[in-house]
Structure 1
Amino acid sequence: MSLPESFRETLNLPVIASPMFLVSGPELVIEACKAGIVGTFPALNQRTSEGFESWLIEIQTALQAYEEETGRKAAPFGVNLIVHASNPRLAADLEICKRHKVPLIITSLGAVPDVVKQVHAYGGLVFHDVATVRHAQKAAQADVDGLIAVCAGAGGHAGVLNPFAFVSEIRQFFNGTLVLAGCLSTGRDVATAQVMGADMAYMGTRFISTQESQAVAEYKQMIVDSSAADIAYTSEISGISANFLKPSLSAAGLDPNTGKPLDAEVVTAKKELNLGEELTAPKEGASAWKSIWSAGQGVGAVHSIPCVSELISQLHEEYVEATVEYAQISREYMFKPVGRA
């Protein structure tokens, strides 16, 4: 197992609350870190770099106050940066991260060695999300500290690989921190990820339905009301295959199974609104399309909308129960002879 020292000192649970577009904000991040897991958010959830920096200041101020009041260390927080050339804010946002020494940078859409070097220069960590073994190998060559294996069933732009296969192949060439993403909703899921060979769990969908999430109430409730059968995997929305809630597709006039428009008017509106563009804030008049909501297949394990601290306490109880149970089960087989006498 490979966890950064800064994580070992502060985590109450090996979990990262993943950065979710238009969902993760300062309140969720602060409460996650106070409760002992890594809270993260996308830089692009703020319309401007100035707004992004204001969020960083808000988070750092709140966590510093928490540490002074309680005498306890908060868990690290992180920022997701889109490092693809199509992101015009990358340079400015990276400079802001360097100025505030953001503990963890999560990079997406390309592992860039120069970005890794700049983050390492101030003592930060870089985790990179990957959906294929080839991309994992390229990220490892870029000297990232951790890989986030985005497996089949994950919310948003998910991969198609089974987690058993993906983790096993990555571990053949990467000894850094390995984070597993995809359908992780309970403390038992977190424990299972570690038994499989991952160091941490990456949980997104479960944190959408929390009080501190920036998701609208209808989005949160739709997750509570849904099961794995209500998730559609389609490239029709953003041009990249991703998982979405079927009821939200239907409400937008799209085929719930494919995401394709059902009539010509919807086709025209989709083109005009540039549906799925994640590098800019939604355009004016695009409110209907903001109701196309992403989620992973783990929705079937979500039955409530608690505050973040309550959720993490529940996850911790489930995690401990699962690890104790596994220890008891494995002990039954530990000393039994194997093979022929």
Structure 2
Amino acid sequence: MLPPILQNLRIPVVASPMFIVSGPDLVIAQCKAGIVGSFPALNAREKDGDPIQLEAWLTRINEELDRHNQSNPDHPAAPFAVNQIVHRSNARLERDIEICHRYKVPIWITSLGARTEVNAAAHDCGGIALHDIINNVFAKKAVEKGADGLIAVAAGAGGHAGPLSPFALVQEIREWFDGPLLLSGAIATGGAVLAAQAMGADLAYIGSPFIATTEAHAPQEYKQMIVQSGAMDIVTSSLFTGVSGNYLAPSIRNAGMDPANLETADASSMNFGGDSKPKAWSTIWGSGQGIGAVKDVVPAATRIDQLAAEYAAAKDRLAHL
């Protein structure tokens, strides 16, 4: 059974936290439209001596969602989540944990390593911790270290995607784990959300379709490339961060490289002390394989309306088979 905070969503969807792209505008729009919105803590950056941006973002999100809930008691906003990169190179981790604990962030998403102290901090302020994994071994380690739920990042997902079929990954996890399970990997329609549930996941974890929204903090060229591209335009490479990820081939070509002949890099090159990738790669844009379903740039609420309509239609279609 899902914990109360993940129940009563408009549709069973958590919006994934996207590097650079996810910020307060997008998160607030997603939550008001009835799905969990999220952002990476590292997206909130400030120059030395400036006020702490993460605190400003959390203040704004909490205040705007509270105003919405007071004005719409019958249709309250969904909760929000903050993603913590727990890799050892993230020098901000301890500071960001303290801030999220102080602001009582309701949902914590952890990536690139499972840390008991992060899960403990989430629990201590009344939150839940979800950890993203790419295989069953990492899934078991995450639960052993106190994660409440798992995000199965399968083949076709944007960003740091796993290599496994969603069918295989969900099947193996569900053999031993009956807690909250989210599925990520080329989910871009309401029908795909229902399919994720049919195979055993509780919720879908959707990122790339929200790049092509008006609230996304992404260059217009990036948004249009999402609209104009499809699954065949996605390239898998470890070159840009040291971990295998999925990227838009046109952005790689625009940077003067051949998407079919990229060098590789290993995990030792990962560094989250500042930007998560060198400035040389700043216009290499990530995406999952599901973007063929994205036909235009629209407000996040419109995208969620579409997902909700497709989800209802898919349920109706199956009921009449």
TM-score normalised by L of structure 2: 0.93
Pick aligned residue for 1:27 from 13, 25, 28: 25
Question: Does residue 205 of structure 2 align to residue 198 of structure 1?
Answer: no
Aligned pair count? Answer: 313
How far apart, CA to CA, are the structure 1 residues paired with 2:255 and 2:58? Answer: 34
Deviation at 1:282, TM superposition (A): 7.4
The alignment partner of 1:105 has SS state of strand
Q: Are the aligned partners of 1:224 and 1:302 in contact in 2 as well (CA < 8 Å)? A: yes
Amino acid at match of 2:93: L
Pick aligned residue for 2:286 from 294, 305, 316: 294
How far apart, CA to CA, are the structure 2 residues paired with 1:294 and 1:247? Answer: 11
The verdict on how the C-alpha distance between 1:276 and 1:310 changes in structure 2, with shifts beyond 3 A counting, is farther
Deviation at 1:278, TM superposition (A): 4.4
Q: Are the aligned partners of 2:89 and 2:272 in contact in 1 as well (CA < 8 Å)? A: no
Pick aligned residue for 1:224 from 221, 224, 227: 227
Q: Gaps (5+ residues) in structure 1?
A: 262-269, 330-341
Q: Are the aligned partners of 2:90 and 2:271 in contact in 1 as well (CA < 8 Å)? A: no
How far apart, CA to CA, are the structure 1 residues paired with 2:262 and 2:212? Answer: 23
Pick aligned residue for 2:256 from 253, 265, 278: 253
Deviation at 1:74, TM superposition (A): 1.0
The alignment partner of 1:107 has SS state of strand
* Equivalences for residues 1-341 of structure 1 within 5 A: 2-9=1-8, 11-48=9-46, 50-71=52-73, 72-260=75-263, 277-281=271-275, 286=279, 289-329=281-321
Deviation at 1:277, TM superposition (A): 4.7
Q: Deviations over 1:38-88 (max 9, x none)?
A: 000000002248111110111001101111122232101000001122111
Residue of structure 2 in register with 1:265 after alignment? none
How far apart, CA to CA, are the structure 1 residues paired with 2:312 and 2:272? Answer: 37
Q: Are the aligned partners of 1:17 and 1:203 in contact in 2 as well (CA < 8 Å)? A: yes
Q: Gaps (5+ residues) in structure 2?
A: none
As a proportion of its length, which structure holds more helix?
1
The alignment partner of 1:213 has SS state of coil
Q: Are the aligned partners of 1:249 and 1:259 in contact in 2 as well (CA < 8 Å)? A: no
Deviation at 1:281, TM superposition (A): 3.1
Cα RMSD for the two superposed structures: 1.8
Deviation at 1:283, TM superposition (A): 9.1
Q: Which runs of 4+ in 1 moved over 6 A?
A: none
Q: Deviations over 1:249-275 (max 9, x none)?
A: 0111111124349xxxxxxxx9xxxx9
How far apart, CA to CA, are the structure 1 residues paired with 2:240 and 2:6? Answer: 36
The alignment partner of 2:52 has SS state of helix
